[in-house]
Chains A and B, each alone.
Chain A
Amino acid sequence: MRYIFLLASIVIFTRQAVAISEGQSVPAQIFSLANGDALSISKFQGQVVYLDFWASWCGPCKRSLPWLQEIAERFKERGLRVVAVNLDQNSVDGQKFIRELGLKALEVHFDPDGVSAEAFSVDSMPSSVLIDKSGKVRAVLHGFRESEKEELVTKIEGLL
């Protein structure tokens, strides 16, 4: 009886999170975001895309976004697109954050409902996905670590 109860609990409470992983193709759908904004990753076909999910209240995002801006400027000519998706439930917080840090080189979208985050199975903040020219995921990053920057730059350069 105890085991049946335990099994039922596991079945009911275990969520089958299908996280996006390396080698997978990115979702082809167009995400309808708030304020009439839309995000379509497939429109970047033929370009290397660094897709970053962030929020203004997320501590590591304060370090990752300025670095992303640096990367966006450095590899812009070679065809890298850095797309930063803000997941603040109140987009005004995200806009203020962008203004304060002067992040002008980033393509920022605001997704307060987390539609795109749901599709990309975001499980930590920040989360990033590196997508190659054919639309395949080449790296999935959870969080932001200074020690991973070099390796990531090498990966981006390899894809460009």
Chain B
Amino acid sequence: MSRLIFSVLILFATGCAEVKPWQRGNLARPSMAFDPDPLESKMQQHLYQSKEGGFGGYGIGGGGCGCS
């Protein structure tokens, strides 16, 4: 029983807060994007491929086998 009470109390202690649809202005900023500059990212990937022979792992085609 005490475990149950503890579990319920823990749920109340979480730091979750709901962000309303109209409060997402900051999240919508370009700087908050996962990839704010796709061109720059592509350049970086090209550099790694040329210098280190490493490729992939960025959510694009190729699994890093070096066979592309």
Beta-carbon contact of B23 and A4 below 8 Å: no
In whole angstroms, what is the CA distance A124 to B16 when docked? 20
Beta-carbon contact of A114 and B23 below 8 Å: yes
Beta-carbon contact of A1 and B3 below 8 Å: yes
Cβ-neighbour of A8 out of B7, B23, B25 (below 8 A): B7
Which of chain A's residues 100-133 have a Cβ closer than 8 Å to chain B? 114, 117-118, 122-125, 127
Beta-carbon contact of A125 and B7 below 8 Å: no
In whole angstroms, what is the CA distance A31 to B8 when docked? 37
CB contacts (< 8 Å) of B20 on chain A: these are 114, 117-118, 122
In whole angstroms, what is the CA distance A116 to B12 when docked? 28
Min Cβ gap A147→B in Å is: 22
In whole angstroms, what is the CA distance A123 to B24 when docked? 12
> Looking at chain B's contact residues, is the secondary structure mostly helix, strand, loop, or mixed?
helix
CB contacts (< 8 Å) of A5 on chain B: these are 4, 7
If A57-B28, A57-B29, A58-B28 touch, does A117 touch B22 (CB 8 Å cutoff)? yes
CB contacts (< 8 Å) of B12 on chain A: these are 12
Beta-carbon contact of A4 and B4 below 8 Å: yes
CB contacts (< 8 Å) of A57 on chain B: these are 24-25, 28-29
Cβ-neighbour of B21 out of A1, A15, A124 (below 8 A): A124
Q: A4-B4, A125-B22 are in contact. List 8 more A-B contacts (CB 8 A).
A: A5-B7, A56-B25, A57-B24, A57-B28, A88-B25, A93-B25, A122-B22, A124-B21
5 A–B pairs (Cβ distance < 8 Å), ordered by A:
A5-B4, A8-B7, A55-B22, A57-B24, A57-B29
